[in-house]
Amino acid sequence: MSDIYENAIASIRLGIQDFQSNDELRPISALRNFYAGVLLLGKQCLLNAAPDDAEPMEILASKFAPILDDDGDVAYAAKGQQTIDLAELRDRFKGFKLTWPAGDIKGLQKLRNDFEHYHSATPKPAIRQVIADCFPLVEGFFAILEKSPKVELGDTWDLMLAERAFFRKLKDTCNATFQEIPWWPEIAERDDISCPNCRSSLVYQKDDTNDEPGDIEGCCKACGDTFSAEKTVEIIVQAGFGIDDYIAAKEGLEPTIHDCPECYNTTYVETGITVKCFFCGYAVNGDCARCGESLGITNQSINHPQFCDYCDHMSSKDD
């Protein structure tokens, strides 16, 4: 294997060792080393997929410039020593017909950048989460390389598995506090909760016997921030339906998440299956009293809920 691979293994080991330390400055080093190691491991996947006679910079350079080769034909040579970043790595995976493994590295990337440039005060549990979220990606890269992560990383892999199991246990404990909320089962499987303060998904409600959305006292186990019932439900709705909302916007469709016309919180969801406010329970239903069109959150008149917008407008003209 290349120096890139050896550096990848060393960086991942250092990152996990740094994370295990109680030194307050070591989490910064942990993020930097672990992130670098994961990227290097991905770059080795590209090198393995390239022809044996290819030079590393022919595969990994970020910029290329056209040159004339010895035969007078146009060729491309690496320009400078800068290598590809995360976005370029993913693009080259496609070009090399490699499947990008499961796992979230964007959270790790963002947190690393925050620490590098903004002196982030992100608590250790949130760092634990972004590192644990990246483990499936590491495992996927090793699978592409046909290597065993246990053999290559040794005790470091055991520590990584323990971290992932520990975080999963914390996450399950937090999720369990919402079990009495009536609509929780229909949203739990889509759960991607994010604390607005530290971005950790370790959000829970203090009273795990509470079954009323309006009485939820939300809290983040990572940073200790607390949230009103309204804010907590908004966080959960965004976690459950934010991706639907994003896809709808991208495709030019109506939004999925709306401000509720009854309680005014951004907790009203309208999809082909779900139609209701997760905070107050209000749901737009029935037909327009004038034209018979089915009413929904996007066409119901605000001033006269029994009409659709068009009929309300026409009725006002008739007056």
Kindly report, residue by residue over 176-220, the tens digit of the pLDDT: 999 999 999 988 776 678 899 888 889 999 999 999 999 999 999
pTM, two decimal places: 0.74
Helix axes 26-49, 106-118, angle to 10 degrees: 130
Residue 94: domain span: 3-174
Higher-pLDDT residue of 21, 142: 142
Ordered DSSP codes for 33-78:
HHHHHHHHHHHHHHHHHS-TT--HHHHHBS-EEEEE-TTS-EEEEE
Q: What is the pLDDT of residue 191?
A: 66
Whether 244 is in a domain gets the answer yes
Residues 166 and 182 in one domain: no
Whether 243 is in a domain gets the answer yes
Look-up of token digits 């709808």:
248
Q: Which DSSP category does 99 fall into?
A: P
Q: What is the pLDDT of residue 192?
A: 76
Residues 52 and 198 in one domain: no
Q: Using pLDDT thresholds of 50, 70 and 90, give the confidence band for residue 25.
A: low
- Distance CA(111)–CA(100), nearest Å, equals 21
> What is residue 129's three-state secondary structure?
helix
Least confident stretch, 194-208, 248-262, 295-309? 295-309
Whether 52 is in a domain gets the answer yes
List Cα–Cα distances, 182 to 81, 96, 149, 210, in angstroms. Answer: 57, 47, 42, 10
Residues 144 and 193 in one domain: no
Whether 44 is in a domain gets the answer yes
Residues 88 and 191 in one domain: no
Residues 49 and 119 in one domain: yes
The residue out of 220, 254, 288 marking a domain boundary is: 254
Q: What is the pLDDT of residue 132?
A: 86
- Distance CA(223)–CA(59), nearest Å, equals 42
Whether 187 is in a domain gets the answer yes
Residues 99 and 246 in one domain: no
> How many structural domains is the chain composed of?
2
- Per the CB < 8 A criterion, the answer to whether 98 and 144 are in contact is yes
Residues 100 and 223 in one domain: no
Query: Widest CA span of the chain, in angstroms?
Result: 85
The residue out of 174, 206, 226 marking a domain boundary is: 174
Whether 72 is in a domain gets the answer yes
The residue out of 225, 254, 283 marking a domain boundary is: 254
- Distance CA(134)–CA(224), nearest Å, equals 24
Higher-pLDDT residue of 225, 119: 225
Q: Using pLDDT thresholds of 50, 70 and 90, give the confidence band for residue 293.
A: confident
Look-up of token digits 């994003």:
246
Residues 111 and 200 in one domain: no
Residue 34 has pLDDT above 60, yes or no: yes
Whether 81 is in a domain gets the answer yes
Residues 106 and 165 in one domain: yes
Residues 87 and 213 in one domain: no
Whether 237 is in a domain gets the answer yes
Residues 13 and 108 in one domain: yes
What's the average model confidence in pLDDT over 63-70?
Answer: 83
- Average pLDDT value for the chain: 89
Residues 42 and 75 in one domain: yes
Residue 86 has pLDDT above 60, yes or no: yes
